[in-house]
Amino acid sequence: LGIAYCNQLFDWERKFKNLSPEDRRKQRLKKEKPVLEAFWSWVESTNEKVLPKSNIGKALQYALNHKEKLETYLEDGNCVISNNIAENSIRPFTVGRKNWTFCGSPEGANASATVYSLVETAKANGLSPQVFRAYTVNITRYQFKNQPKGLRSNDALG
């Protein structure tokens, strides 16, 4: 039954896809909020009938513990109902990380994660990752070069 509520929410989201963020927010409050209220009622009543350490018990308790966060998308028409876009964008990175073994060091892993984050941010905003990378490198180089000596992060190193 829980999946039926989720399916209803995703059906509404498909219908609201082409609305402005403000209209989407209004429609969510009008159409989806009642579905969510019914869902939470179902979660609470079902949670009382299952063993807390069972898989369904853990899932229901997790949902209840995160109820407020799970509903925040209702108030902002720019937000999406799921994080599928983010998860799909990091999938190649998570598959590759087993092969990279921290890129030789923790610092290498941090650098790799930073670059990957910039590439995915560029893609998510419809920009060419190569052009975006060149721009960020040039702007960073310019800012560093024009920063007063003594304020540069590596000036303290000698």
Q: Measured on CA atoms in the order 70, 75, 81, 82, is the torsion positive or negative?
A: negative
Residue 88, Cβ neighbours under 10 Å: how many?
Answer: 9
What local confidence, expressed as pLDDT, does residue 158 receive? Answer: 43
pLDDT value for 35: 98
Listed as ranges, residues in the chain with pLDDT below 50 are 155-158
Cα 73 to Cα 82: distance, rounded to the nearest angstrom: 9
Q: Is residue 129 within 8 Å of 123, Cβ to Cβ?
A: yes
Model pLDDT for residues 102-116, shown as the tens digit of each residue = 567 777 777 777 888
| pLDDT (0 to 100) of residue 125 | 87
Q: What is the pLDDT of residue 157?
A: 43
Q: For residue 71, what pLDDT is reported?
A: 95
Distances from the Cα of 1 to the Cαs of 7, 43, 44, 68, 149, in angstroms?
10, 10, 13, 21, 64
Rg (CA), the chain: 23
Say what the pLDDT of residue 148 is: 64
Residue 117: per-residue pLDDT: 81
